[in-house]
Amino acid sequence: MFRIEKELAEYYNPVTKKRDVVEIEIRFDPLTGKRSRVIEKPLPISTEPDVGNVEKEWCPFCDENIYNVGARDTRIANGELIERGEAILLANITPYAEISLVIRLTKKHYLPISEFEAEHFYNAFILAKEYLERVGAKYANIMMNYLKPAGSSVTHPHIQVIASKYLLDYQERVVEAAKEFYEKNGANFWDVMWERSEERKVAETKWRWFTPFAPRGFEHVCAYINKGLGEMDEELLDLSEGIVKILKAYSDMGYNSFNFGIFGSLEGEDFLATQFDIVARSVMSKYYWNDVFAITKIYDEAYTNKKPEDLAKEIKKYF
């Protein structure tokens, strides 16, 4: 189930006047077979990151602008903005699917990642769930990109929600592989994986938290639950609390940018868990380094700098 192949790269180091040998692990995702490369080396993380003068940016999600320029959803909003706490649901003016939303998380324009609160995420997740239920979506797809290294064009914290007739490419592969696994083994893949992942287990709350065998990014942490999004309430608060813990860990590691995604069915299916994935991105700084290059962008090969077994030990401290 957990396949690893290894290669050795050798070079002469003129500083030490010795030959250095670096081990590269090529890991295969136990569900989809997607490859990931693990090369243990330190990242070029700035010790004094500079996010710039983000407070002076013009922002469509700040209170003084959002009620005037925030795009209204035409399906259920009737020209009104939908709000819950600080969260506000908007139509996405750059849509990625037939249903494409943005949900503002906070009143504050910029937050260091250690200052997010569970309520920020929980309110937004409830709005997303209720909307997707009302429009009859089959699958939930909720994503967050925070700061420019994560691909966000707007600093203000927000999530995106999309629903389409067509799943995203990786999601479709997960669904097909999970169905095949269930039919062959009579068991949910995530439950089997969990039982065989002792070294990568982080915590068990209402969700099961772990580091994936074949990471798809830096400090990749996952969680799953055998419920559909439409069946959740307290579970979404529990997920939100877990996200806050991971962001504190990322902050302590020196990161300030991240991506996450939630994927699963609305009603729940025996073969498919609802999955959460979060990865740290290169640090937002004046001259930040983009961590997506040709191997990842063109050839779809993931890589990371830390073994997931080691990361699990670090993240456990925050749960």
On whether residue 46 sits in a domain, the answer given is: no
On whether residue 49 sits in a domain, the answer given is: no
Reading the chain (319 residues) residue by residue, the pLDDT tens digits are 999 999 999 999 998 999 999 999 999 999 999 999 999 888 777 767 777 777 778 999 999 999 999 999 888 767 788 999 999 999 999 999 999 999 999 999 999 999 999 999 999 999 999 999 999 999 999 999 999 999 999 999 999 999 999 999 999 999 999 999 999 999 999 999 999 999 999 999 999 999 999 999 999 999 999 999 999 999 999 999 999 999 999 999 999 999 999 999 999 999 999 999 999 999 988 878 888 989 999 999 999 999 999 999 999 999 9
On whether residue 34 sits in a domain, the answer given is: yes
- Taking Cα atoms as reference points, which of 189, 113, 116 lies closest to residue 150? 113
Q: What is the DSSP secondary-structure string of 41-64?
A: ------SS----SGGGS--TTSHH
- Output the CA angle 118-215-121, nearest 5 degrees: 15
Looking at residue 164, its amino acid is S
Q: What is the DSSP secondary-structure string of 75-132?
A: TTSTT--EEETTEEEEE-SS-SSSEEEEEE--SSS---GGG--HHHHHHHHHHHHHHH
Question: Residue 156 belongs to a domain with what CATH number?
Answer: 3.30.428.10
Residues 154, 272, single domain; the answer is yes
Quote the number of domains for the chain: 2
Residues 15, 63, single domain; the answer is no
On whether residue 176 sits in a domain, the answer given is: yes
Query: Phi then psi for 16, rounded to 5 degrees?
Result: -90, -10
Residues 19, 95, single domain; the answer is no
User: 11: domain range?
Assistant: 3-38
Residues 156, 288, single domain; the answer is yes
Residues 26, 105, single domain; the answer is no
CA 259 to the chain's CA centroid:
4
On whether residue 90 sits in a domain, the answer given is: yes
Helices then strands, each counted (H, E), the chain: 7, 14
Residues 146, 272, single domain; the answer is yes
Residues 136, 18, single domain; the answer is no
Residues 162, 102, single domain; the answer is yes
